[in-house]
Structure 1
Amino acid sequence: MRETEDFQWQLEGRNPVMEALRAGKTIEKILVAKGSREGAIRDILKMARERGIVIQEVDKKRLDNMSLTGAHQGLIALVVPYTYVSVDDILYRARRADEPPFVVVLDCIEDPRNLGAIIRTAECCGVHGIIIPKRRAVGITPTVVKASAGAVEYVSVARVTNIVSTLEYLKEQGLWVVGAEAGGTPYNIQDMRGPIALVIGSEGKGLRKLVKENCDYLVGIPMKGKINSLNSSVAAAILMYEVVRQRDQSPLA
């Protein structure tokens, strides 16, 4: 069952709007600051005109007042709300590509910039989809889209009621559930080449107890300095690229 956000939705900035156009997203109107015609904005407006999208020139002050990110770059697009997919849609995407599923599960990420950064890295790593909880976590918002640099247009995101039940379902579908935990096996010596669901904990708190208990194994990132933890988006990026590294070579080194 697909669902959408229930607020008026907008994309801000040149990269998010350009990627939305390239991905064929339904855009109702583009608001552009008067006099803005240089570089990427000129290309965006040309593409929008070709698709029959309404373009409205407005004072920059109006965009400043509308902006939710504080970084509209002279451009705001009004679009249909974000559409989430189902977990099965994500698994189907992997089957269609004839690849072992690579899913990222986020356990209560609250910072929209962290979520956007994770989505951006996931797109670069070929992740088939991201799963987030409906409660106690950020959803796909304009700030998330901005932080993802438009990558959200290419990464499927499912929002579920219960993360633990979802992990159990992923196991039934043949995936190994790998949790990111400071005391886990060093990530570079743990085999992560098969169908995998990589679980990343929230900022500051990490994985919740029941989520951790439902992981097949835990992997950690060795720390050499005085600070004993990484930002969740940085940790997610390191682990996602380790999965890519291992999948791209055989046997595991």
Structure 2
Amino acid sequence: MNITKRLFSSVARVSQREPRSAVKLHFQKKEESTNFKKSFPVYEKKKPWDVQGITKDEFFGQKYAKMSTQRRDNFNEKVARQRRHRDERRESDREYYSKKTVHYQERLTVPKNPLSEYIYGTHAVLSALVANKRASFNTLYLQHNRKEAPPGILKLAKQYNLSIQDNVPKGTLNGLTGFGVHNGVVLESKPLEFPLISTLGPCNGQDGTYKLASIDELYNSVQELSKEVVKSKSTNQTNQVETEIETPRFPLGIYLDGVTDPQNVGAIIRSAYFMGVDFVVVPDSESAKLGPVCNKASAGALDMLSVYKTNSSLKFIESSKKNGWVVISTTGKLNKSEEKSLLSKHSELESLDDMIIHANELNNICQEAPVLLVMGSEGLGVRTNLFTRSDYLVGLEQGREDGSGIVDSLNASVATALLISKCLG
């Protein structure tokens, strides 16, 4: 009979002899408790002094009573070495946690000025110093030695007579920036002020100028500011001969409606500056804060590009349209029910077919009139009030038939960059 058969036969005998619940355990079980050990019995291993029925001190006294002198010296040396290593380990842990506590306190007890803004990142700090749009700069903090600092930043900091603090602990910079990716460079300065405008004025496409109506919040007055459009440059290369052509054009502006993510706003401003957009307008409320996080995401373009605010979106859009600006809003593909619902709520709209244009038509419109491109948030899109006041609606066609509908849109900054390229391409 093999092992398997003997095992099954023994189990059968036990099952016939008494119920399974009555089978006695052949090992000592600890006292039942309300924890894990209540349901799962464990083996109890007795201590050697308990087996002999003596105390722990008596057991070790008997064990080491007959040691030779050499063995006892070796044993004492081993015990001393273990105690020495234990004390060294404790001291090392004490120093580590002491430094960690100081580091943590340094990070939390940095005297941040509530009236200042802490710009961080190499490009953001350099752009702020180059643009010089802020009221004042206070202190430049460097994680490493000033000799290792970016030369452009250090040169401008000395030119502005800024206070420079180098070899600043990383924990201090983390505290100043809220754990932003500061690259070891932080600049304390006054917050960037954004002009409040009420409307976009008339534009002259022949000499590339346009006007802005700026609101003075202190005196509640309106002041007209003339702005010169940045000339667009196109490069044609034939047989390694490069020809640069400069032609005046109508301005292109971007209005951000309800974009609340500072990373998205920063990325949009970065793309707008890089591709030649003239200005960006954001609402005074329900929009991302144009602070250090946005500045870092824009790689410093927030200081370089003209950015304005408005406290009345509808009036701003309507007055700008009266001054000849073409308002183009972005939209996704509307189904029949959504289109019917929109037309029923707004009787002034006869049909959306005349409003919807292809993205390739944007360049032709930009060559004929100044354009304000309205970008909405990723989730809600452009608000209906602005949507219905637009001259045209434009969207980007999806290149893949995705029946799941999981990836049915683009990131706001990516969509903005693609539409800017269509406008200025």
Query: What code does the residue aligned with 2:117 have?
Result: W
- Relative distance call for 1:27 and 1:64 in structure 2 (3 A) is same
Query: What code does the residue aligned with 2:278 have?
Result: H
For structure 2, the 5+ residue unaligned runs are: 1-113, 198-211, 215-224, 232-247, 334-355
1:158 CA drift (Å): 1.3
- Relative distance call for 1:127 and 1:7 in structure 2 (3 A) is farther
Structure 2 residue 199 is the aligned partner of structure 1 residue 24: no
For structure 1, the 5+ residue unaligned runs are: 1-5, 246-253
Q: 1:202 aligns with which of 372, 377, 385?
A: 377
* Rg comparison, structure with higher value: 2
Which deviates the most, 202-211 or 47-56? 47-56
Work out the CA distance in 2 between the residues paired with 1:69 and 1:115. Answer: 20
Query: What code does the residue aligned with 2:372 have?
Result: A
Structure 2 residue 414 is the aligned partner of structure 1 residue 234: yes
Q: 1:43 aligns with which of 142, 148, 152?
A: 152
Q: Percent identity?
A: 31
1:186 CA drift (Å): 2.2
Query: What code does the residue aligned with 2:157 have?
Result: A
Q: 1:182 aligns with which of 332, 347, 355?
A: 332
- Relative distance call for 1:89 and 1:111 in structure 2 (3 A) is same
Work out the CA distance in 2 between the residues paired with 1:89 and 1:102. Answer: 17
Counterparts in 2 of 1:1-253, with a 5 A limit?
8-25=116-133, 26-35=136-145, 37-38=147-148, 41-57=150-166, 58-68=168-178, 70-87=180-197, 88=212, 92-94=226-228, 99-183=249-333, 184-190=356-362, 191-193=364-366, 194-225=369-400, 226=402, 227-245=407-425
Work out the CA distance in 1 between the residues paired with 2:306 and 2:156. Answer: 24
Work out the CA distance in 1 between the residues paired with 2:176 and 2:376. Answer: 32
Query: What code does the residue aligned with 2:301 have?
Result: A
Cα root mean square deviation, aligned:
2.1
Work out the CA distance in 2 between the residues paired with 1:212 and 1:139. Answer: 24
1:36 CA drift (Å): 5.8
Deviations 1:49-76 (A, max 9, x none): 1321111122221001111362011111
Work out the CA distance in 2 between the residues paired with 1:158 and 1:147. Answer: 18
Which deviates the most, 183-192 or 203-212? 183-192
TM-score, scaled to structure 1: 0.87
Deviations 1:43-99 (A, max 9, x none): 312331132111112222100111136201111101111110243169732469764
1:151 CA drift (Å): 0.7
Work out the CA distance in 2 between the residues paired with 1:69 and 1:112. Answer: 16
Deviations 1:1-41 (A, max 9, x none): xxxxx853121011111111111243211111143643x62
1:68 and 1:143 in contact (8 A); partners too? no
Equivalent pairs counted in the alignment come to 239
Query: What code does the residue aligned with 2:386 have?
Result: V
1:113 CA drift (Å): 0.6
Query: What code does the residue aligned with 1:76 have?
Result: V
1:161 CA drift (Å): 1.5
2:118 and 2:176 in contact (8 A); partners too? no
1:176 CA drift (Å): 0.2
3-state SS in 1 of match to 2:287: coil
3-state SS in 1 of match to 2:365: coil
Work out the CA distance in 1 between the residues paired with 2:229 and 2:277. Answer: 13
Structure of greater relative contact order (alpha carbons < 8 Å, 6+ residues apart): 1
Work out the CA distance in 1 between the residues paired with 2:153 and 2:304. Answer: 18
